[in-house]
A and B are shown apart, each in its own frame.
Chain A
Amino acid sequence: MAISQTRTRATSMREQFVETATDLLDDDPRATIVLADISSASFVAAARHHPDRVLNVGIREQLMVSVAGGLALTSMRPIVHSYAPFAVSRAFEQLKLDLGYQDVDAVVVSIGASYDSTGAGATHFAPEDVALIDTLPDWQIHVPAHLHEVDPLLRDAVAGGGRHYIRLTERAVARQRLTVPARPRAVVVAVGPTLADVVDATRRLDVTVLPVTTVRPFPRQALRRAVFELSGDADVVLVEPYDAGTSAHEVAAALVDVRHRLLSLGVGRRELRRYGSAADHDAAHGLDRVSLRAAIGDFVASGDGWTAGGAPQ
């Protein structure tokens, strides 16, 4: 299939998703978009051109995922899209059985991330989405940091087959310049859009920042290579924009033969019951620049002669 490189005018990941998905309908006769009202207004023109391949089932997320499974059973290539809590937690059994257990594939593209819409409250938060998908076999999980990652990720996922979860956010970050210290003392894995704050937080700390977009399969070899470059102990910090520790078991597997320490940072399990801004929530979960710098700094400094009392929180 010809991959056309489009000149994008999108200003958000969601707009980019709509633009690329609309293109794919023209390029790939199997591509089919399945919606449950969310974003359907953005696909009205596409639906006019492809009435059989832009399907809005209404506010029925279970059906949205099951329809994707049924389509895939006829060799179509469904692209499922909704707000993250509705696409993943609400329709979880459909993801598990109507895609996975049927042994058919789809590309699920969510928006909203952990708390993009802080004013909407916990019903619209999905910090658990990656952990949930991670319990299912053979899913690739992508957490893009910047807008320009979305188009190639979606095109590759649709063309390449398999089950993909692409987690979009309204909080895309700019591309980051990474500096490599002469004698790095820790590897900081920065997943998706945490990269900007991690780069900021670790300025003048002697750490290697390892940006990760595709978290499943986890880049175990890249982590090992970075760890082997460290001077001293194998210290790893994992910064994820969803439930803290979601990829801790992957780090453990990557370093199964290496004595190492791991600090897992991410969204906490506690129900905050707060609104405000996404930055407020970052701070509440210790994911803002200041908290990250303190946590990572303390962790690296505690590397020599670690004691229980000195363990970072």
Chain B
Amino acid sequence: MTTTTAPVAPLQLPYSSLRRLMSDITGDAKHLPSATSTLDVLWVLYDRVLNVDPTNPDDPRRDRFYLSKGHGPASYYAVLAAKGFIPLPWLRTMGAFDSPLGYHPDHRLIPGVEVSTGSLGHGLPLAVGTALGLRAQGNPARVVVLLGDAELDEGSNHEAIAYAARAGLDRLTAVVIDNSSSTHGWPGGIARRFETEGWAATSIYGRDHERIEAALRALPGDGPNVVVAVVEPKESA
């Protein structure tokens, strides 16, 4: 497929272009809250934090970003397009039979996407395995995985949360986008659940780019860290 060949000087569009790119994807000026809740964190990750290069997307030393919460990927696709990983014309094709872009991302079809997700509760456990694999090879790349607060309902996450800290995975970062969408909520807070298991936790407002950047750049302690990025509740988005 020739369209997957990245241009020599990849496209770099600004943050202000994302809304229009998302409209291209959805064919609508309105956006699903599950897509926009992740927008700012995704932008800051790709713009300021991750060591990734659209001209060399398979570099073994690249940082790994796993979008565990594969739902509402319009913001992810918009950021990937703005950063030159995927061609802009792809955005208007989402969901078509022969489009690389599905309603959940597939890493075998989309350059720059590291894992295929959709079913909740798989990204963090996969990220734990990847962090272990990189460590065994002496590869200092970071692994960053994005989850939603409702996704934490899935028990498989809690197997991974408990083990990651015991294994001392200090290059692993989880970002939990908290838009209060979990049906039964998290009394005592999401951060505390990670802290009890030995993670370093930070809670921030998930629209503040400077705070997001500072939280995601930090690698505190000798274990994994979690950034809880709180955004407006799902209902009012």
Q: Which of A58, A66, A68, A101 touches B156 (beta carbons < 8 Å)?
A: A66
* CB of A187 to closest CB in B, whole Å: 40
Residue of A nearest to B139 (CB): A74
Interface size on B, residues (CB 8 A): 29
Residue of A nearest to B108 (CB): A103
Contact A32 B133 (CB under 8 A): yes
Residue of B nearest to A55 (CB): B132
Residue of A nearest to B163 (CB): A57
Q: Which of A43-79 contact B (CB under 8 A)?
A: 52-53, 55, 57-58, 60, 62-63, 66-76, 78
Complex CA–CA separation, A71 to B128 (angstroms): 8
Chain A-chain B contacts (Cβ-Cβ < 8 Å), number? 90
Contact B126 A66 (CB under 8 A): yes
Q: Is the contact region of chain B dominated by helix, strand, or loop, or is it mixed?
A: helix
Q: Which of B105-125 contact A (CB under 8 A)?
A: 107-108, 114-116, 119, 122, 125
Chain A CB within 8 A of B19 CB: no
Kindly list chain A residues whose C-beta atoms are within 8 Å of the C-beta of B131: 70
Kindly list chain A residues whose C-beta atoms are within 8 Å of the C-beta of B160: 63, 66
Kindly list chain A residues whose C-beta atoms are within 8 Å of the C-beta of B155: 62
* CB of A140 to closest CB in B, whole Å: 21
Complex CA–CA separation, A98 to B116 (angstroms): 9
Encode contact with B along A154-167: 1 for CB under 8 Å, 0 otherwise.
Answer: 00000000000000
Q: Which of B116, B125, B136 touches A62 (beta carbons < 8 Å)?
A: B125
Contact A52 B132 (CB under 8 A): yes
Complex CA–CA separation, A59 to B136 (angstroms): 22
Complex CA–CA separation, A98 to B160 (angstroms): 14
Kindly list chain A residues whose C-beta atoms are within 8 Å of the C-beta of B139: 74
Contact B156 A63 (CB under 8 A): yes
Contact B129 A70 (CB under 8 A): yes
Complex CA–CA separation, A57 to B132 (angstroms): 11
Contact A101 B128 (CB under 8 A): no
Contact B122 A63 (CB under 8 A): no
Complex CA–CA separation, A68 to B122 (angstroms): 12
Chain A CB within 8 A of B208 CB: no
* CB of B163 to closest CB in A, whole Å: 5
Contact A76 B116 (CB under 8 A): no
Given contacts A62-B159, A63-B163, A102-B115, contact A73 B122 (CB under 8 A): no
Q: Which of B114, B119, B137, B156 touches A73 (beta carbons < 8 Å)?
A: B114
Contact A68 B129 (CB under 8 A): yes
Contact A102 B136 (CB under 8 A): no
Contact A66 B114 (CB under 8 A): no
Complex CA–CA separation, A98 to B119 (angstroms): 10
Chain B CB within 8 A of A248 CB: no
Q: Which of B48-91 contact A (CB under 8 A)?
A: 64
Q: Which of B127-152 contact A (CB under 8 A)?
A: 127-137, 139
Given contacts A60-B163, A93-B119, A102-B116, contact A71 B132 (CB under 8 A): yes
Complex CA–CA separation, A94 to B127 (angstroms): 13
Residue among B114, B116, B127, B130 having the largest count of chain A Cβ atoms under 10 Å: B130
Using a CB–CB cutoff of 8 Å, the interface residues on chain B facing chain A are: 64, 107-108, 114-116, 119, 122, 125-137, 139, 155-156, 159-160, 162-163, 167
Mind listing 14 A-B residue pairs with CB under 8 Å?
Answer: A52-B132, A58-B162, A63-B163, A66-B129, A68-B129, A70-B128, A70-B131, A71-B132, A73-B133, A74-B137, A75-B133, A97-B122, A98-B126, A102-B126
